[in-house]
């Protein structure tokens, strides 16, 4: 394999990169082949490492963030991605310029991040590995080394007080927020010198155009650019953009209102047999038809940070006071950008824009009635897109898997 280029803004792999640990979670595409894109967010201070992750051709960015620790002349890696040879070489280039990786942080209990962190940490044996403290495994809860983490892995304390990065970073823990299905837990980190907040799943933002990684590997976009199975596909900018918008709607709503899911065997077989786009995968099966007007659902999401609809509907509204206490702690930091681990990043945002994303826990007012820090209308969800999540919520409450919704928080900002 050719040596990777030195890190620079916008640096991207020019070929797929093999990853031998893909079998650890075989349903999570793109399996053992992942490009890594390095971006310098703040010169000599903050970098992101983006890869793709998803299932059934719904591929979205997943990212690690690397920050420079001035006080100890080293690096901290937040939410590691797959340790492909190219990814590791990019990080080692950063080490040669800015000092060794000293700390690797898994700030969540989410399996899609957990299964990447241990293999990544083992590539940097001199670094200390830290994890969100309430890790769990199913069906049997095992010690961290049995889950792939290095011996000596330590749980994150509630705050940065007494940690080796105290002079450079603050952090705040949310959770655990418990249900019968598992736990939600997340640690937000704040890099003081660059005024950057790092989070995993708590907030996201949607880019107007496809990420560079998907432009380089456009098959998932083209797969979802079709209105139905009979439509031929050309690799054009318009087709890739249409595919990106639909990918976002799938990722956030699972079954947006503009989507008709085919469930008749005859329709499915006929569509697959007669599909002009079998080369896109899944043997020509495309069990969807998109209805006119679907783009309004994507357009409504634009405008800044928001909490994903699944988190809003199933988790955060069960624990409004805990979530808002955490959101207020993060809002007390003096930041100018947020880097989520999924979808768009970095996002220009201050504490006001951040806090607006959590207003649904205090008010039934739609998010588009909340102005963000730039004075624009914020993102919102169309009610018709929420039908599947609302049905799921009702079923989970009925069988006792999750608690009923808690009352709205009484605080106001």
The answer to whether 349 and 337 are in contact (CB under 8 A) is: yes
Please report which residue ranges of 168-319 form alpha helices under DSSP H: 212-216, 219-223, 237-253, 265-273, 295-299, 309-310
Radius of gyration (C-alpha) of the chain in whole angstroms: 21
Please state, in angstroms and rounded to a whole number, the distance separating the CA atoms of residues 188 and 173: 7
**What topology is assigned to 11-198 in CATH?**
Metallo-beta-lactamase; Chain A (3.60.15)
* Residue 349 reports pLDDT greater than 90: yes
The segment with the largest mean pLDDT, out of 37-46, 269-278, 365-374, is 37-46
In the numeric block, which tokens belong to residue 258? 């503009």
Please state, in angstroms and rounded to a whole number, the distance separating the CA atoms of residues 251 and 206: 11
pLDDT digits over 16-42, tens only?
566 555 555 555 666 567 889 999 999
* Residue 405 reports pLDDT greater than 90: no
pLDDT digits over 255-265, tens only?
899 888 766 66
Predicted model pTM: 0.88
Domain boundaries, the chain: 11-198, 212-299, 309-398
Please state, in angstroms and rounded to a whole number, the distance separating the CA atoms of residues 152 and 145: 9
Q: Residue 136 — pLDDT band, cuts 50, 70, 90?
A: confident
Q: Which helix (H) or strand (E) holds 173?
A: strand 169-179
Q: Of 98-102, 113-117, 193-197, where does mean pLDDT reach its minimum?
A: 113-117
What is the reported pLDDT for 8?
38
What is the reported pLDDT for 53?
86
The answer to whether 32 and 19 are in contact (CB under 8 A) is: yes
Q: Of 56-65, 70-79, 133-142, where does mean pLDDT reach its minimum?
A: 133-142
* Residue 355 reports pLDDT greater than 80: yes
Q: Residue 55 — pLDDT band, cuts 50, 70, 90?
A: confident
In the numeric block, which tokens belong to residue 391? 């049905």
What is the reported pLDDT for 229?
74
Q: Residue 364 — pLDDT band, cuts 50, 70, 90?
A: low
Class of residue 241 by CB neighbours under 10 A (exposed 0-12, middle 13-18, buried 19+): middle
Please state, in angstroms and rounded to a whole number, the distance separating the CA atoms of residues 380 and 304: 10
């Amino acid at each position: 394999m050719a040596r990777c280029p030195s890190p620079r803004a916008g640096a991207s792999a020019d070929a797929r990169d093999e990853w031998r640990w893909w079998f650890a979670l075989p349903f999570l595409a793109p399996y053992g082949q992942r490009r890594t894109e390095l971006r310098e967010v703040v010169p000599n201070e903050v970098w992101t490492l983006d890869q793709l992750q998803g299932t059934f051709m719904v591929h979205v960015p997943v990212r690690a963030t690397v920050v420079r620790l001035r006080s100890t002349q080293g690096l901290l890696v937040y939410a590691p991605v797959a340790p492909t040879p190219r990814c590791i070489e990019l990080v080692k280039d950063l080490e040669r310029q800015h000092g060794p990786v000293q700390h690797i942080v898994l700030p969540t209990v989410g399996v899609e991040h957990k299964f990447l962190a241990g293999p990544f940490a083992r590539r940097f044996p001199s670094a200390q590995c830290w994890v969100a403290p309430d890790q769990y495994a199913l069906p049997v809860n095992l010690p961290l080394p049995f889950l792939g983490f290095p011996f000596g892995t330590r749980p994150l304390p509630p705050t940065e007080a007494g940690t080796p990065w105290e002079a450079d970073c603050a952090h705040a823990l949310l959770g655990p927020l418990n249900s019968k299905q598992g736990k939600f837990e997340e640690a937000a980190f704040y890099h003081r010198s660059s005024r950057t907040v790092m989070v995993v799943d708590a907030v996201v933002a949607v880019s107007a155009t496809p990420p560079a990684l998907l432009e380089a590997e456009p098959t998932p976009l083209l797969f979802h650019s079709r209105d139905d199975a009979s439509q031929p596909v050309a690799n054009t900018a318009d087709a890739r953009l249409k595919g990106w918008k639909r990918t976002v709607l799938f990722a956030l709503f699972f079954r947006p209102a503009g989507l008709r899911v085919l469930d008749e065997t005859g329709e499915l077989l006929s569509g697959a047999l007669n599909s002009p786009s079998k080369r896109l995968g899944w043997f020509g099966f495309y069990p969807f038809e998109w209805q006119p007007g679907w783009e309004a659902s994507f357009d409504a999401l634009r405008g800044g940070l928001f909490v994903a609809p699944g988190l809003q509907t199933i988790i955060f509204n069960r624990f409004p006071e805990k979530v808002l206490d955490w959101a207020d702690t993060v809002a007390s930091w003096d930041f100018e950008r947020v880097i989520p681990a999924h979808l768009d990043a970095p996002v220009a945002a201050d504490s006001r824009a951040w806090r607006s994303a959590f207003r649904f826990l205090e008010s039934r007012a739609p998010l588009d009635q909340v102005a963000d820090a730039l004075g624009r209308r914020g993102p919102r969800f169309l009610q018709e897109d929420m039908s599947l999540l609302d049905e799921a919520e009702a079923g989970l409450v009925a069988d006792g898997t999750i608690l009923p919704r808690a009352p709205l928080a009484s605080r106001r900002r």
